[in-house]
Amino acid sequence: MRILVIDVGGTNVKVLASGKRTPIKIPSGPHMTPALMVKEVLAATAHWDFDAVSIGYPGPVSKGRPALEPWNLGKGWVRFDFKKAFGKPVKIINDAAMQALGSYDGGTMLFLGLGTGLGSALIADGKLIPLELAHLPYAHGETYEEYLGEAGFRELGKRDWRREVKRVAGLFMAAFRADYIVFGGGNSKHLKDLPPSSRLGSNANAFKGGFRLWS
């Protein structure tokens, strides 16, 4: 089966299909509605052949559909009929969960996406469990996302932010009894000495996860 994988982000929509090596980037932002996304993806991939579509969505997903509108894109995602628009079978998953799926190497893995916000997912013995840890209270009346996301990185500075990442990683490792943690997201490149039992992931793993959704 040939799969088209779409990783929807606030800056770019990244697209890759089975058998292709280089993703296509389509600028996104507050103007990007689901209808426009489909139109531009289909135009950009007009010469690609695919049988099904995987979409990594920047927000919570429930029963295979977006559960909330994204804060950094246009409106209309929750009620949009992606299967009808693409004319193909479609699977939608949270973007952090899709990257987690592509990063998984067995056992119990916790994925933390260190980007604008804080993405999270757990995979235990091959079962994917999307998480929403970002908005849980952490310290001084602020959430985990406010410490580990982009705002925290800028406010704390690189050294103190790294310290908080290590501390939170230890808390989550114990809470979820994880064998290891994979860090993804744009700010993971700022980590220096990784916490024990952890490694850096790759943004390319989002596409790998999208392919795995259908296997």
Angle at alpha carbon of residue 206, lines to 202 and 210, rounded to 5°: 150
- Percent pLDDT > 90 in the chain is 88
Q: Residue 117's pLDDT is what?
A: 87
Q: Residue 133's pLDDT is what?
A: 95
pLDDT in tens, 85-132: 999 999 999 999 999 999 999 999 999 999 888 999 999 999 999 998
Q: Residue 31's pLDDT is what?
A: 95
In a domain, 215, yes or no: no
Shared-domain flag, residues 90 and 111:
no
- Residue 9 CA to residue 96 CA, distance in Å, equals 11
Shared-domain flag, residues 109 and 203:
yes
Instruction: Confirm if 122 and 116 have CB atoms less than 8 A apart.
Output: no
Predicted TM-score (pTM) of this structure: 0.89
Q: Token match 């757990």: residue? A: 122
Number of folded domains in the chain? 2
pLDDT in tens, 22-52: 999 999 999 999 999 999 999 999 999 999 9
- Residue 71 pLDDT class (50, 70, 90 cuts): confident
Instruction: Confirm if 108 and 179 have CB atoms less than 8 A apart.
Output: yes
Report whether pLDDT(72) > 90. Answer: no
Measure CA 155 to chain center. Answer: 24
Q: Residue 115's pLDDT is what?
A: 87
Q: Residue 10's pLDDT is what?
A: 85
> Which residues does 176 contact at the CB level (< 8 Å), separation at least 6?
108, 110, 122
Shared-domain flag, residues 82 and 175:
no
- Residue 211 CA to residue 11 CA, distance in Å, equals 22
- Residue 101 CA to residue 123 CA, distance in Å, equals 8
Shared-domain flag, residues 19 and 82:
yes
- Residue 57 pLDDT class (50, 70, 90 cuts): very high
Residue 25, strand partner residues: 14
Domain limits for position 64: 3-97
Q: Residue 41's pLDDT is what?
A: 98
Instruction: Confirm if 208 and 18 have CB atoms less than 8 A apart.
Output: no
Residue-level length of the chain: 215
End-to-end CA distance of the chain: 9
pLDDT in tens, 131-188: 989 999 999 999 999 999 999 999 999 999 999 999 999 999 999 999 999 999 889 9
Shared-domain flag, residues 81 and 119:
no
Shared-domain flag, residues 109 and 91:
no
Query: What phi and psi values does residue 211 have, to the nearest 5 degrees?
Result: -70, -40
* Rounded alpha-carbon distances, angstroms, from residue 49 to 94, 105, 146: 24, 29, 42
- Residue 200 pLDDT class (50, 70, 90 cuts): very high
In a domain, 212, yes or no: no
